[in-house]
Amino acid sequence: MIFTTDFFTPVVDDPYDYGAIAAANALSDVYAMGGDVLMALNIAAFPADLPEEIIAEILRGGAEKVREAGAVVAGGHTVDSEEPLFGLAVIGTVDPSHFLEKSGARAGDRMVLTKPLGGGIVTTAFKGEMSLPGHIETASQWMKQLNRTSARRALVMQCRAATDVTGFSLLGHALEIAVHSRCTIRLDASRLPFLPGAREYADQWLFPAGSSRNRQAFQDRVDFDRGLSEEFRTLVFTPETSGGLLVCLAAVDAEQFVSQAVEEGEGAWIVGDIIEGPARILVRGSESSR
């Protein structure tokens, strides 16, 4: 059995999208272990004067995302709150002899990321009324996407190690794999995919507070090439909302993983590799073009 929970305040204005994103984010921990979702309970807190139709749309967004996962919302609990909060408590199942974990990465393996980065800074720019048209819509579509197919593909291809990329940022979650696998992860800065607008908002220093907290927590085990800017460094420490999976695969399997994902209209990018060494992250190369 897998038990997990997650909830947060709104990251977008559309109530349906907010509910769907919060649900996809909560379900992600089950997929990060290669499991299937069995059922979920709503965790909800709303202002007493919030219109019922808005509450209904939030709950509908969450319920339809759970249904997409092949599961059901079996109830939940709601309290009054000065600001909205929504998420799920999730129960899933996984085969103990066949699941994804954070240990097992080996030297020579490749790291694959299944969603572009930048959700945290794009939503922060949007909430600050600094975003350009279209950016939040694109970010929402990615955040609503379940990691279900990517997890199943990773299991079939005998993934060595995996995690999902959420609040601790790409580097924080990559470091979890490095620590549990006792290896060094080398990321290629030029291969990292970003959502439209993410690099521009980084240049404007529109980072959420979590970027600084992550950097303080993990920077002692991260080495950057000197040519990488402060904006880029902070961006890869920025929290993600309902981010993709970071999976470690044998080199030939990584290429096949990406090819299949592209054929099925999903995202996947080889972003680095595993080398022998202490539990650290190396970020090498030049920054990708805008």
DSSP notation for 169-230: HHHHHHHHHHHHHT-EEEEEGGG--B-TTHHHHHHTT---HHHHHHHHHHGGGEEE-TTS-H
Tens digit of each residue's pLDDT (9 = 90 or more) over 24-33: 999 999 999 9
Average pLDDT of every residue of the chain: 97
**N residues, the chain:** 290
User: To 10 degrees, the CA torsion angle through 52, 53, 54, 60?
Assistant: 110
* pTM: predicted TM-score of the whole model, two decimal places: 0.96
Q: Which of 146, 181, 162 is nearest to 246 (CA)?
A: 162
Tens digit of each residue's pLDDT (9 = 90 or more) over 80-123: 999 999 999 999 999 998 899 999 999 999 999 999 999 999 99
Q: Which of 258, 260, 283, 288 is nearest to 272 (CA)?
A: 283
CA distances from 137 to 95, 96, 143, 219 (A): 36, 38, 10, 32
Q: What percent of the chain has pLDDT over 90?
A: 97
* Rg of the chain on CA atoms, in Å: 18
Q: Which of 41, 282, 10 is nearest to 123 (CA)?
A: 10
Q: Which of 163, 172, 175 is nearest to 30 (CA)?
A: 163
What is the structure's pLDDT at 288? 76
For residue 68, what are its two tokens?
């997409």
Q: Could you tell me which CATH number the domain at 2-93 has?
A: 3.30.1330.10
Angle at 149 between CA 29 and CA 4, to 5 degrees: 15
Evaluate if residue 290 carries a pLDDT over 80. Answer: no
Evaluate if residue 284 carries a pLDDT over 80. Answer: yes
> For residues 244 and 113, is the Cβ–Cβ distance under 8 A?
yes
- Helix, coil or strand: residue 234: helix
| Fold observed for domain 110-284 | Phosphoribosyl-aminoimidazole Synthetase; Chain A, domain 2 (3.90.650)
First to last CA, the chain: 43
DSSP H stretches of helix in 69-197: 119-127, 135-144, 148-156, 169-181
Q: What is the arithmetic mean of pLDDT over 172-190?
A: 98
Angle at 51 between CA 50 and CA 52, to 5 degrees: 115
pLDDT band at 70 (very low <50, low <70, confident <90, very high): very high
What is the structure's pLDDT at 289? 67
Q: Where are the domains of the chain?
A: 2-93, 110-284
For residue 239, what are its two tokens?
């929290």
Phi-psi region of 242 (alpha: psi -120 to 50; beta: other; left: phi over 0): left
